[in-house]
Each structure stands twice: as C-alpha cells, then as structure tokens.
C-alpha cells in the first residue's frame, strides 16, 4: 500500500461527500489509477454501506469500491478543511468526519489487511493525537507514509 505525496490532501475545501468523491475521482482518473466507473461506484457504495467511524477524539471514514474499479494499490488521505457529514457505520446516524481514507485496491485479499491496519492504528490514542496535531500537508504525508508504505527490507 502506498501513500503518494500527491494523494494526500490537507485542508481540502470540499463541502460534502459528493464534492469529496468527485475530487478523489478526478485525481485518480487523471493518474489512471481507477477505471471510469470508479466515481459512480464509490458514491453508490457509500450510500449502501456507510463508512463513518466514530472514534474517541476524531471521526474518520474509510471509503472504497470493489477491486474491479482499481488499477493499482494506493491510499488516498484527505483532511477536509471542515468536517464532512457521513453516516456512522454502526448505527447509520450522521457524524461529522475529520479524516477520510480512500482505499484504491485491485486485490480483494489486500483489502482486509489494509482495513485492519487502519483500524489498529486508529485505536491508538497517540496516533489519533498525532493526526490531530498535524499542521501541514507535509506533516500529514510523512506521518501516513511512515505507517503505510511498505519497505523493501
């Protein structure tokens, strides 16, 4: 799983899920990381299977589509300028999300592995605090790369 500098967005001025997903799709299509159907698929999937997660000090969403819409394996990280309303994965109530992970995975088996890795990270109070304390795109990028980029050792 790779976090690229140009797939990390800090203080992104999007107002709602629709703008967020369009922004993501535009970027990913331009890089040829997703198929044409990605944009509709991610919106449809979020409606049917909400991904908002309520954590102790921060709410996140982990959005994704089926593997057939991905041409590669990437992680998009978006910290919107203002919280975006998602539905809570547990009770479908609206929650305000402060951080969005977009999983671009063309291999279904990797899917669970990455979800577990994100979940494990987000259960650590120190990790949440580190994310909350980030003040720039560079800091956010470095932090995510440290945790998600595979090393060749």
CA-to-CA dists, residue 76 to 2, 6, 140, angstroms: 9, 9, 12
* Cβ neighbours for 93, distance < 8 A, ≥ 6 positions apart: 87
Q: What is the pLDDT of residues 40-93, one digit of tens each?
A: 999 999 999 999 999 988 999 999 999 999 999 899 999 999 999 999 999 999
Q: β-strand 99-104 against 94-97: which pairing, if any?
A: unpaired
pLDDT band, very low/low/confident/very high, at 153 (cuts 50, 70, 90): very low
Contact 140, 8 (CB under 8 A): yes
Region 116-138 average pLDDT: 91
- End-to-end alpha-carbon separation of the chain, Å? 15
Round the CA-based radius of gyration of the chain to a whole number and report it. 14
Return left, alpha or beta for 66; rule: phi > 0 is left, psi -120 to 50 is alpha, else beta: beta
Domain boundaries, the chain: 5-148
How far apart are alpha carbons 108 and 110 in whole angstroms? 5
Share of the chain above pLDDT 70, in %: 97
Could you tell me the pTM of the whole model? Answer: 0.93
pLDDT of residue 151: 54
CATH architecture of residue range(s) 5-148: 3-Layer(aba) Sandwich (3.40)
Considering only CA atoms, which of 122, 24, 16, 11 is closest in space to residue 65? 24
pLDDT of residue 1: 60
Local structure of residue 8 (DSSP, 8 states): E
Mean pLDDT of all residues belonging to the chain = 92
């Amino acid at each position: 799983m790779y976090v690229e500098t140009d797939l990390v967005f800090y203080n992104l001025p999007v107002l709602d899920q629709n703008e967020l997903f369009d922004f993501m799709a535009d970027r990913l299509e331009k890089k040829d990381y997703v198929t044409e159907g990605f944009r509709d698929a991610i919106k449809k999937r979020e409606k049917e299977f909400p991904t908002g997660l309520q954590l102790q000090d921060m709410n996140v969403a982990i959005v994704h589509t089926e593997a057939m819409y991905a041409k590669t394996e990437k992680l998009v990280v978006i910290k919107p300028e203002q919280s975006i309303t998602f539905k809570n994965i547990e009770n479908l109530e609206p929650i305000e999300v402060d951080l969005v992970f977009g999983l671009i995975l063309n291999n279904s088996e990797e899917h669970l592995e990455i979800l577990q890795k994100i979940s494990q990270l987000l259960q650590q109070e120190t990790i949440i605090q580190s994310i909350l304390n980030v003040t720039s795109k560079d800091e956010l990028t470095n932090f995510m790369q440290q945790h998600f980029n595979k090393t060749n050792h």
